[in-house]
Chains A and B, each alone.
Chain A
Amino acid sequence: MIQGAVWKSVRQNPLTLFGGFVVLMLFVVALGAPYFPVHDPYSIDADAVLEAPGLGHPFGTDELGRDVFSRVIYGARISLWVGFVSVGIAIVIGIFLGAVAGYYGGWMDGLIMRFVDVMLCFPTFFLILAVIAFLEPNIATIMAIIGLTGWMGVCRLVRAEFLSLKERDFVQSARALGVGNLRIIVHHILPNSLTPVMVAAILGIAGAILTESALSFLGIGVQPPTPSWGNILTSGKDNLQIAWWLSLFPGLAILVTVLSYNLLGEGLRDALDPRLRGSR
Chain B
Amino acid sequence: MVRHQRLVAESLTMDTLLQQLINGLTLGAVYALVALGYTMVYGIIGLINFAHGEVVMIGTMVAFTVIVFFAGSGMPPLLILGVGLLVSVVVCMVLGWALERVAYRPLRHAPRLTPLITAIGMSIVLQNVAMLIWGRNYITFPPMINKQIYEVGGASFTNVQVAIVSLAALVMLGLIYLVHRTRIGMAMRATAQNPHVASLMGVDINRVIAMAFIIGSALGAVAGCMVGSYYEIAHYQMGFMLGLKAFTAAVLGGIGNLAGAMAGGLLLGLIEALGAGYIGDLTGNFLGSHYQDIFAFIVLIIVLMFRPSGLFGERTGDRA
Q: Do A and B bind each other?
A: no
